[in-house]
Amino acid sequence: MPIPETDYADNIYWVYGIVLDRQIHVDNRTVQKLLADEGIGSRTFFWCMHEQPVCQREGLFENETYPNAEYLARKGLYIPSGLVLTIEQMERVVTGARKIMMQV
């Protein structure tokens, strides 16, 4: 669960991120498709800089790996959240996400 606040900021819950456990043998795109099949939109986390095509074309990060960034890029996704969602919409997202997490 995201923390509601720190000593310098309040969480505005702009997005709700989920990181799939290492023991789950599917990636975020598979879960994204399953969510879409349930009528739930989602977005994958941002792709790691060292694997961005423009950075590779420019010869940046050559032969470098960043395991944590790579893990998050492949196992992280955002589900709908925000202050404008109705209770019914939130319940639909939670129910659908829970159903899918039980399948994978």
Condensed to tens digits (0 to 9), the pLDDT of residues 35-94 reads: 999 999 999 999 999 999 999 999 999 999 999 999 999 999 999 987 788 999 999 999
Q: At what angle do helices 87-103 and 28-37 cross, to 10 degrees?
A: 130
Cα(81)–Cα(52) distance, integer angstroms = 27
Q: What residues make up the domain containing 51?
A: 18-103
DSSP sequence for 6-30: -SS-B---S-EEEE--TT--S-HHH
Does residue 7 belong to any structural domain of this protein?
Answer: no
pTM of the model: 0.83
**Residue 65 · residue 49 · CB < 8 Å:** no
- Position 22 in a domain: yes
Residue 3 has pLDDT above 90, yes or no: no
Residues 6+ apart with CB under 8 A from 36: 42
CB 28 within 8 A of CB 75: yes
Q: Rounded to 5, what percent of the chain is helix, strand, coil?
A: 40, 10, 45
Q: Give the chain's domain count.
A: 1
The answer to the question of residue 51 being in a domain is yes
Distance linking the first and last C-alpha atoms of the chain: 20
